Amino acid sequence: MRTFIEHYGFLIVLFPVLGAFINGIFGRQIQNKYGEKPIGYVASLTVFFSFIISVIAFSVIARDPQPSALICHVYNWLNVNFVRADVSFLFDPLSAVMILIVTGVGFLIHIYSIGYMKGDPGYYRFFAYLNLFIFSMLILVLAENMLLMFIGWEGVGLCSYLLIGFWYSKKENAIAGNKAFIVNRVGDFGFLLGILTLFWSLYNQIAANDRLAEFSNGTLSLLSFPFLAENIHLLKGVNLFGIPEYTGISVITAICLFLFLGATGKSAQIPLHVWLPDAMAGPTPVSALIHAATMVTAGIYMIGRLHFLFSMSSVALGIIAAVGALTALFAATIGCAQNDIKRVLAYSTISQLGYMFLGMGVAAYSAGIFHLMTHAFFKACLFLGAGSVLIALHHENDIRWMGGLKRYMPRTFLTFLIATLTISGIPPFSGFFSKDEILWKAWSSDHGHPILWFMGFVAAGMTAFYMTRLLLMTFFGENRRDQRPRDAGGGHGDQHSGSHDIRESPASMTVPLVILAFFAIIAGFIGIPEALGGSNRFSHFLGPVFGSHVEVQHHDPLEYILMAASVFIALFGIVSGVLFYSIKPGLPAKIVSRIKITYDVVYNKYYVDEIYDFVFVSGTKVIIIILAAFDQYVIDGIVNLTGFLLRCKSRISGSFDLRFVDGAVNFIADTTLSTGAGMRKIQTGKIQAYIMFLFFGMVVFVLYKIIF
Amino acid sequence: MDIININSYMIISLMLFLFGLFTTITRRNIIGIILGIELILNSAALNFAAFSKFSASNLEGQLFSIFIIVIAAAEAAIALALMLSIFMRHGDINADKLDRLRG
Amino acid sequence: MSEFIQNHILTLITFIPLIGGFFILFLPKDKHDVIRWSSLVITVVPFLLALILFAGFDRSVYGFTHSNGIQFIEEYTWIRAYNIHYFMGIDGISMPMIFLTALICPLCVLASWGINRGVKGYFFLFLLLETGMMGVFTALDFFLFFVFWEVMLLPMYFLIGIWGGPRKEYAAIKFFLYTLVGSVMMLLVMIYFYLTSDPHTFDMTKLAEINSVFDYRTILWFALFINFAIKIPVFPFHTWLPDAHVEAPTAISVILAGVLLKMGAYGILRINYAVLPDVSYNMSMFMAIFGMINIIYGALTAMAQKDLKKLVAYSSISHMGFVLLGIASFTNEGINGAILQMFNHGVITAMLFLLVGVIYDRAHHREIDGFGGIASVVPNYAFVSFLAFFGALGLPGLNSFISEVLVFIGAFKKYRVITAISASGIIITASYCLWTLQRIFLGKLNEKYKLLPDMNIRETISLLPLALLVVILGVYPHPVLNLMKSTVKYVNNIFLNMNL
């Protein structure tokens, strides 16, 4: 089996791209001729095949007692001097977990989409993009070197762009897509700088150690992860290009911060979080797959992949943890005030990603990855549930006009409930274990701090609160559809009143929901902390990757206290949610009116979008207009001025030419003419006159001869 | 014999030439002009004969003189013929009026 | 026969278009289709020869002398009195360019199918232009190089000036004067080189060998640089480019951006680097800064454009900045990246201009804001446009990503800040590319274009090879990279061994 993966592991990546190719190139003809079915089947089957091979790979990795790097080398992609990058796939516990999540959740969402996208004219396009996304994500996850990872890194960004703007005839969607891609590009810029800095600082160290000869046969790659893991210690204590190290900016810190900028872009952390809520413009399965379960976790995965690098810089880790905790809290507050079901979930995603970064930032890598996994299940479940609701309500997004759906959509409700409890951190659902482990590490780890824990703690309470609010407003109470003001936008112009047409979604949509909910319940059991008598198998499984970072578990009584505290705050959040939105429905309005300004600020997402819009978008527009004017009037003006001056000069020299040079020529001609006219008079035509001239001429000559 | 030397011939020839020239320039009538030209020709013939007599032993100069006389006769004949046709064309043989070649 | 081809392949590849052009002149004037088809056949022949060249090219050559490094040499005495030779040969720098030229010309003939006015003259001048371009890339005698350089200028002037848009005379004159100013400088330098060398020679390999005899090196370098900078074009000598592009017919824009701009960078590598290596090395900072300005300035100005063709023109300026930055880096990675970028940019910008031509033929305007939502009407066109624009913004997996990354890696070794600022250009590039795509293809469908026809067969054929190259070279760049690698290594080693 091991050799199978070594030789054919690339099939995992190949299948989805094959599906994307078939659907992308021939999809339109297929759809016109044979309908939607073959398209959905092709797309889902390719992902399913990938999933099968991923399971094989996973079992190979899991069974191997001493997992050495399992690399599937495909071909050499780039080989210029010291820049060498292969298309090779790296299988280790970390990537094995990730491919399982990507292909597994991806497959379920493909199945779900078959039902969700029914009847859309761009059906083939949707599945082509979705397959392309799975392909890119797998490249990102399996990449053996940083440049290949960068392909996946931007590839998922591309798919995200294409899918956000999937319904492109609405301008807002297209703009949201642009925003996502461009904000991500800011992150990619950081990522690129990180690669550049890493490359040359490592190169310099290797050159200083006289080890360049190792590269001469051209098989070793400077940017491959195994090589980096082995040689990163060379960078210890190296300062950043001559900046003295006591300023705190070692080269490692600089690289980490650059890469982290990339991670904030992809994983929607402060300050680059703005694109994710807008990305909800895409179809809901996309939000579930890309903007919740997989793509946005790429930043966390990247930090996990390069943990050896990040571990060397406590400054960078501290910043990551702080940004993560801040984002978790910040996004949670916004989540409390949103009314769009998908936006609430989007802010919840940002907040949960913040948790993961908090985990990574305190060097609790396996905890971060653990939360990544559980989050993939429950957040995909939540989004797909939301999608199911949207289909039933004909794309009514606003939870203020929902309510009472429990009766009509029991399966959706049940899975949504489970997922809500999971995200709130109620034991024994998986979210509890993963979140709690992060919170415990935030307090107890060497890089942790009680303040970090406290921020996460508060955010956990808020998460429970807004999720309860969402659940109650969507599924409980009376249906408020009739109360929707007709002029309140809505866009779809549906005039349905009453709730008689609300019905449960088809099986292709509910089955994935049930499966995801099932995993949301049980996924936690593989990572039960030892404090609760578990064996934390997940952490041990990832042990070979994160190596020394698995700390010795000592049974600190504090751990139990913190655990109890987080259960308590989750329950508190739920209870207050119930109190606000079920028992005393008038209370929220009252409180809001009391803290109007604060509420407005939070409701408007702290005006970050507006600030960015003003500073960056308008700023850029002003700059480009100035520059274009500069180009047209100054630079080109100078050119035209030069041309003008040259023309003037040539006109002057032209007139000089006319007056003087030409004048001289004309003068000669004129003189000749006038002389001729004068001489003409001599030509009398009288022979005697000629003879006289002749004679006198002779006389003159003779006289001349005689006198001189 | 000493009195009549080459200078005498030269002087006579010069006078003949000057008379001829004068006639040629001043006459308005073409016939007069022709006569003047004949005088010039004769002065030249005289010169030839004189130089031949005083310098060489053979008769080349005299021969030329005869040659000139013959030419002059032919020329006079042509000139008179031309004059006749000019007169017939213009009704006049005044040289001043024949200025079609004027520049 | 095959031996004849083998021995004279460069001459054939250069002059077949010209001979074909004379053949075109004898065709009846109003048989337009005959003229078009025979032009297509004539331009395909050099492409086939380029394939032979590509197959027979020795990838491992190293050096810049007759016996070493230069291949397919043809050398005959041309003007004995002045020691001028007909000396042609190629190495790893010129080979990709020849291939690019040979590839783009047939596609341009396809794109010129719609020319109805003065067809015969157009195609004759076009073929003459191809001869000029091929000649520039194959000539290794400075005099011959100069002759071809000027030969190229003339047809270009007429092609813009006769078959161009409304302001064609202005654009053509501007192009002509700009280029001529540069040529004059090159001419002076050439004469200086000739007179100073002993024995007098125009042979570039010999000039490179004896380069230390030249005085006034900095001035010479600048004179040459300005000539090539005008061609690239480097800020602030770039303003001829947008005008020429906007006014030129589609195929000529393609040639202009796809091939002509590369001659500037090619010239710098061929003459400045070979003959004046020390000054080039000292001036690297200067070039890098101008590369950076080109990248950022071009991208920002492109964003402000309302005319699609002008936008693409400014994007060319931005992309050629990468080339300049790469060759200024004096690293293997950077110079390889720069030459690869020349090739990639040739492919992508050709695509972009062809695409602009396609839409202009249908809508008869190029205002970006004048479209909207047409992706649903012309899906194939939208697909290719997305591919081209994403190629232009350097999406990983497409070809220009590789060259840009190589340039960045190469340049970062020496110029950290400059490279970092240049790298921020990827954000700006992404912004204008996506913004353009959004305004043209996405959003609400402009009712005016409800019945816009999609690409026809001819347009598809002209775009397909380029689209395939964009993808294939993105995942497997070796076919082009291998051509240049060892020559670049040689060029770079000159600088490494100079001990400056």
- The domain spans of chain B are 6-97
- What does the pLDDT read at residue C68? 81
- Separation CA C51–CA C98 (nearest Å): 10
Rounded to 10 deg, the angle between the C284-304 and C416-423 helix axes is 20
How confident is the model over A274-308, as pLDDT tens digits?
888 888 888 888 888 888 888 889 999 999 999 88
Per-residue model confidence as pLDDT tens for chain C (500 residues) = 578 888 888 999 999 999 999 888 888 888 888 899 999 999 999 999 999 999 988 888 888 888 888 888 888 888 888 889 999 999 889 999 999 999 999 999 999 998 888 889 999 999 999 999 999 999 999 999 999 999 988 899 999 988 988 888 888 888 888 888 889 999 999 999 999 988 888 988 888 888 888 888 899 999 999 999 999 889 888 888 888 998 999 999 999 999 999 999 999 999 998 888 888 988 889 999 999 999 999 999 998 888 999 999 999 999 999 999 999 988 889 999 999 999 999 999 999 999 999 999 888 888 888 888 888 889 899 999 999 999 999 898 899 999 999 999 999 988 888 999 999 999 999 999 999 999 999 988 888 888 888 888 999 999 999 999 999 999 999 999 988 888 888 888 888 887 65
A693, closest residue in chain B (CA to CA): B25
> What mean pLDDT do residues A542-570 have?
74
CA–CA separation, C266 and A87 (whole Å): 31
Residue in A154, A171, A627 closest to C396 by CB: A154
DSSP A482: G
Residue C307's DSSP bridge partners are C367
Q: Which residue of C has its CA nearest to A223?
A: C409
Whether C301 and A169 lie within 8 Å, measured CB to CB? no
CA-to-CA distance for C276 and C210, rounded, in angstroms? 10
User: How close does chain C come to A27, measured CA to CA in Å?
Assistant: 12
Mean pLDDT, range A389-398, rounded to an integer? 83
Task: Give chain A positions within 8 Å (CB) of B79.
Answer: none
User: B83 in contact with A at a CB cutoff of 8 Å?
Assistant: no
Count helices and strands in chain C by DSSP H and E runs: 23, 2
Q: Report the alpha-carbon distance of residue A593 to residue A281 in Å, rounded.
A: 30
Phi, psi of A493 (to 5 degrees): 60, 30
Within an 8 Å CB–CB cutoff, is residue B21 touching chain A?
yes
Measuring CA to CA, which residue among A471, A440, A707, A665 is closest to residue A580? A471
CA distance B29 to chain A (A): 11
The strand pairing partners of A72, in sequence order, are A89
Chain B interface includes A702 (CB < 8 A):
no
Handedness of CA A224, A139, A148, C428 (dihedral sign): negative
> With a CB-CB cutoff of 8 Å, which residues 292-311 of chain C face chain A?
297, 300-301, 303-305
Q: How many helices (H) and strands (E) does chain A have?
A: 29, 2
Report yes or no: C118 and C268 within 8 Å, Cβ to Cβ.
no
Best mutation target, A680, A691, A694, to test chain B (most B CBs within 10 A): A691
Q: CB neighbours of A282 closer than 8 A, spacing ≥ 6?
A: A160, A163, A164, A165, A166, A167, A173, A176, A177, A290, A291
Using the beta-carbon criterion (under 8 Å), do C423 and A83 form an inter-chain contact? no
Q: C-chain residues within 8 Å CB-CB of A612?
A: none
Residue A481: the pLDDT is 75
Q: How far apart are CA A458 and CA A454, in angstroms?
A: 6
Contact C396 A178 (CB under 8 A): no
In Å, what is the CA distance from A514 to each residue of A203, A510, A550, C51? Answer: 51, 6, 34, 58
pLDDT at A551 over 60: no
Contact residues, chain B, for A681 at CB < 8 Å:
103
Number of structural domains found in chain C: 1
Of the candidates B4, B2, B6, B3, the residue with the CA atom closest to the CA atom of residue B14: B6
Domain encompassing residue C413: 283-500
Do the chains contact at B26 and A688, CB–CB below 8 Å?
yes
At residue C419, what is the residue type? T
pLDDT (tens digit per residue) in A460-481 = 999 999 899 888 888 887 777 7
Subunits in contact with chain C (3 or more CB pairs closer than 8 Å): A
Residues of A in contact with B24 (CB under 8 A): 688, 691
Query: Within a domain: residue C456?
Result: yes
Q: Do B101 and A682 touch (CB under 8 A)?
A: no
Number of residues that make up chain C = 500
Average pLDDT, chain A: 84
- CB-nearest to B96 from A683, A686, A692 is A686
Vertex A700: Cα angle to A696 and A702 (nearest 5): 115
Residue A495 scores a pLDDT above 50: no
Contact at 8 Å (CB) between A300 and A229? no
Provide the residue ranges of all domains of chain A, joining segments of one domain with +: 313-484+502-603, 608-698
Which of A:643-662 have CB within 8 Å of C? Answer: 643
Cβ separation A196–C419 shorter than 8 A: yes
The predicted model scores a pTM of 0.84
CB contact under 8 A, A692 and B100: no
State which residue of chain A sits closest to C175, comparing Cα positions: A639
Which neighbouring-strand residues pair with C69? C65
Residue A494's pLDDT is 46
- B33 in contact with chain A, both atoms CB, cutoff 8 A: yes
Q: Which of residues 440-459 of C touch A (CB under 8 A)?
A: 441-445
All residues at 6 or more sequence positions from A473 whose CB lies less than 8 Å from its CB, including other chains? A399, A400, A402, A403, A581
Which DSSP state fits C91?
A: -
3-state secondary structure of A233: helix
State what percent of residues in chain A have pLDDT above 70: 94
Distance from CA of B60 to the nearest CA of A (A): 28
Chain C interface disruption, residue of A23, A80, A206, most C CBs within 10 A: A80
| Mutate which: B17, B18, B24, B25, vs A, most A CBs within 10 A | B25
Cβ neighbours around C461 below 10 Å, total: 13
What lies within 8 Å, CB to CB, of C276 at 6+ separation is C211, C214, C217, C220, C221, C224
| Contacting residues of A for C303, CB less than 8 Å apart | 620, 624
How far is C-alpha C342 from the geometric centre of its chain's CA atoms? Answer: 7
Task: Note whether B2 contacts A: Cβ–Cβ < 8 A.
Answer: no
Torsion of CA A285, A287, A293, A296, to 10 degrees: 150
Query: Which two three-digit tokens encode residue A304?
Result: 């996990």
Decide: A109 and A384 in contact? Cβ < 8 Å: yes
Pick the residue from chain A with its C-alpha nearest to C413.
A200
Interface contacts A/B by beta carbons within 8 Å: 34
Query: Which residues of chain A make contact with B99, given a CB cutoff of 8 A?
Result: 684-686
Residue C139: strand pairing partners: C88
B24 part of contact set with chain A, CB < 8 Å: yes
**Nearest partner of A83 among A255, A198, A253, judged by Cα:** A198
Q: Measure the CA–CA gap between C388 and C352, rounded to whole angstroms.
A: 6
B14 and chain A in contact, CB less than 8 A? no
Q: At what angle do helices B30-55 and B6-26 cross, to 10 degrees?
A: 170
Is B6-97 CATH 2.70.98.10? no
Q: CA-CA distance, C465 to A416, in Å (whole number)? A: 50
Contact C430 A76 (CB under 8 A): no
Distance between CA atoms of C392 and C385, rounded to whole angstroms? 10
Q: Please answer yes or no on whether B21 and A682 come within 8 Å at the CB atom.
A: no
* H/E run at residue A207: helix A171-208
CA distance A120 to chain C (A): 13
How would residue A553 be classed by pLDDT, with cut points 50, 70 and 90? low
Report the SS3 class of residue A200: helix
Phi then psi for C73, rounded to 5 degrees? -70, 140
The gap from C-alpha B12 to its chain's centroid, in whole angstroms, comes to: 14
Chains that touch B (3 or more CB pairs under 8 A): A
* Nearest CA among A587, A393, A420, A574 for reference residue A480: A393
Indicate the helix (H) or strand (E) that contains A84: strand A83-91
List, for residues A77-126, the tens digit of each pLDDT value.
888 888 888 898 988 888 888 999 999 999 999 998 988 888 888 889 89
Q: CB-side exposure of B32: number of CA atoms within 13 Å?
A: 15
Inform me whether the C-beta atom of residue B88 falls under 8 Å from chain A C-beta atoms. no
Neighbours of A426 (CB within 10 A): 16
Residue C49 lies in a domain: no
- Strand C71-79 versus strand C84-90 pairing type: antiparallel
* DSSP assignment letter at A398: B
| Closest C-alpha among A138, A139, A185 to residue A158 | A185
Q: What is the distance between the alpha carbons of residues C47 and C317, in angstroms, rounded to a whole number?
A: 27
| Residue in chain A nearest B102 by alpha carbon | A685
Q: How far from A665 is each of A195, A654, A655, A668, A679, CA to CA, in Å?
A: 74, 15, 14, 5, 21
Chain A residue whose CA is closest to B20: A691
**A: neighbours with 3+ CB pairs under 8 Å?**
B, C
Of all residues in chain A, the one with the smallest CA distance to C393 is A185
Residue carrying the six token digits 């990537």: A95
Give the integer Cα–Cα distance in Å for C429 and C210: 43
Q: CA C125, CA C146: separation in Å to the nearest integer? A: 19
At least 3 CB pairs under 8 A between chains C and B: no
Question: Chain A 658-687, CB below 8 Å of chain B: which residues?
Answer: 679-687
CB pairs under 8 A between A and C: 143
Chain-chain contact of A688 with B24 (C-beta, under 8 angstroms): yes
Backbone angles phi, psi at C87, to 5 degrees: -120, 110
ipTM for the predicted complex comes to: 0.91
Cα distance between residue A156 and residue A134, in whole Å: 8
Q: Which two tokens stand for residue A404?
A: 């009472």
